[in-house]
């Protein structure tokens, strides 16, 4: 009876935590690219805005792994890590007080540095989430959290975007309002951390992580990981997918700002359309994956996400982005939901945190390089050619997910629960 009460409480808190988290994060990340552009950032700094967070994430995972993998209280580590991460919002609010020539670089540095603690918080939350919810309920709970948080996050982003655009009459005034937004995000972040800390632990559940003596990511552990074929095949596909996915990020921002001349209001509108369709998508992909399996669902949603750079290349006005972003949001909700569900499926219960840590380490390694490759192709050719190349890479990666499913089912003779 108590277990049922704890699970019911955790589901409610998980939804509240997701809502507060998306508000705090969206108030900063949704406008970070536009803000750094308002600070006169160069193309190099725009690329760094995407790559530097990955470098700090890797540093955070590597340096803290001996401590966090042996930690007995995941909830405390996760809560503290999120609190430190949200504290960076205050420092970002102070950036405009710096001399003009240092503002953009300082913001990019802070934006990257907060991912040191953010990376620890993210992969430890993934492990904590797997400990407190049974495998049969994870997909539903995660889908519910994502749907609720997306609706709320969308409304907040739209409201913030409109207010930033309408209230500001000059560039300096706009930057001042950004400072206020960053401070509000920090306050929301405090409540986010509290909602996480109130979760009930389930350390003795039959689905909680089991740790062995070989629990740290070292040579011996990597050798044992290589024997987990479903996991390794999944990681190969994930690395290629994330590389092609991340290549497009600086291209989208450059195309929107320099070619389509977007502003904060349009950013809010696009986010709203995207959010509405993502909410519908979470419900659809959860039901679809329950019937067809995570593997085929992931392949299809990844293919849909590949349409994004293709549609961008055809756009001649920012309103066109608003038109097609709904399709992308619908597809991306599947990618977001199914990547983590698939990770849980292929990660053994024993030393699960190590497998999740390696996953986060690999996708951050690709993020260091991929945005620069995208911008290099852009400078080598033109923006539309670069977008088309990225689209081709994304389609290829979605095809790999499909090949992985077929190979694992035929060669390794596993059910859909392991693919």
Question: What is the 3-state secondary structure of the chain?
Answer: CHHHHHHHHHHHHHHHHHHHHHHHHHHHHHHHHHHHHHCCCCHHHHHHHHHHHHHHHHHHHHHHHHHHCCCCCHHHHHHHHHHHHHHHHHHHHCHHHCCHHHHHHHHHHHHHHHHHHHHHHHHHHHHHHHHHCCHHHHHHHHHHHHHHHHHHHHHHHHHHHHHHHHHCCCHHHHHHHHHHHHHHHHHHHHHHHHHHHCCCCCCCCCCCCECCCCCCCCHHHHHHHHCCHHHHHHHHHHHHHHHHHHHCHHHHHHHHHHHCCCCHHHHHHHHHHHHHHHHHHHHHHHHHHHHHCHHHHHHHHHHHHCHHHHHHHHCCCHHHHHHHHHHHHHHHHHHHHHHHHHHHHHCCCECHHHHHHHHHHHHHHHHHHHHHHHHHHHHHCCHHHHHHHHHHHHHHHHHHHHHHHHHHHHHCCCCHHHC
pLDDT one-digit tens code per residue, 106-158: 999 999 999 999 988 887 888 788 778 877 787 788 888 888 998 898 889 88
State the average pLDDT over residues 187-195. Answer: 96
State the average pLDDT over residues 251-278. Answer: 87
Q: Could you tell me the domains of the chain?
A: 2-198+220-418 (1.20.1250.20)
| Selected residue with higher pLDDT from 179 and 230 | 179
pLDDT one-digit tens code per residue, 153-175: 888 988 998 898 888 888 889 99
Say whether pLDDT at 72 is over 80: no
Q: What is the mean pLDDT of the chain?
A: 86
Instruction: For residue 210, name the pLDDT band (cuts at 50, 70, 90).
Output: low
Which of 70-84, 345-359, 404-418 is predicted with the least confidence, judged by mean pLDDT?
Answer: 404-418
């Amino acid at each position: 009876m108590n277990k049922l009460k704890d699970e019911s409480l955790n589901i409610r808190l998980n939804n509240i935590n997701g809502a507060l988290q998306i508000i705090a994060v969206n108030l900063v990340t949704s406008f970070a690219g536009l803000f750094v552009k308002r600070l006169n950032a160069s193309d190099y700094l725009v690329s760094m805005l995407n790559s530097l967070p990955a470098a700090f994430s890797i540093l955070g995972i590597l340096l803290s792994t001996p401590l966090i993998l042996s930690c007995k209280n995941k909830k405390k580590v996760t809560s503290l890590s999120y609190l430190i991460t949200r504290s960076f919002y205050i420092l970002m609010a102070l950036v405009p007080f710096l001399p003009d020539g240092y503002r953009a670089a300082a913001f990019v540095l802070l934006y990257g540095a907060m991912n040191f603690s953010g990376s620890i918080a993210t992969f430890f939350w993934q492990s904590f989430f797997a400990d407190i919810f049974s495998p049969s309920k994870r997909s539903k709970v995660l889908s519910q959290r994502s749907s609720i948080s997306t609706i709320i996050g969308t409304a907040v982003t739209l409201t913030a975007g409109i207010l930033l655009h309408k209230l500001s009459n000059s560039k300096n005034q706009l930057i001042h309002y950004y400072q206020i937004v960053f401070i509000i995000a920090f306050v929301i972040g405090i409540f986010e951390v509290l909602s996480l800390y109130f979760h009930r632990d389930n350390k003795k559940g039959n689905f909680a992580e089991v740790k062995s003596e070989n629990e740290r990511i070292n040579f011996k552990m990597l050798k044992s990981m290589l024997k987990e074929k479903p996991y390794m095949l999944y990681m190969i596909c994930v690395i290629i997918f994330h590389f092609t996915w991340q290549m497009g990020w600086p291209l989208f921002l450059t195309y929107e700002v320099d070619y389509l001349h977007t502003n904060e209001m349009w950013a809010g509108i696009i986010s709203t359309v995207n959010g509405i369709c993502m909410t519908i998508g979470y419900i659809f992909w959860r039901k679809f994956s329950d019937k067809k399996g995570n593997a085929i669902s992931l392949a299809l949603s990844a293919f849909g996400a590949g349409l994004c750079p293709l549609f961008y290349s055809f756009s001649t006005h920012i309103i066109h982005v608003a038109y097609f972003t709904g399709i992308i949001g619908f597809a991306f909700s599947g990618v977001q939901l199914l990547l983590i569900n698939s990770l849980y499926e292929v990660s053994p219960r024993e030393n699960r945190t190590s497998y999740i840590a390696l996953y986060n380490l690999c996708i951050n390694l690709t993020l260091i390089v991929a945005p620069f490759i995208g911008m290099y192709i852009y400078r080598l050719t033109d923006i539309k050619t670069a977008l088309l190349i990225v689209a081709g890479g994304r389609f290829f990666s979605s095809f790999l997910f499909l090949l992985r499913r077929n190979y694992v089912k035929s060669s390794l003779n596993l059910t859909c629960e392991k693919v």
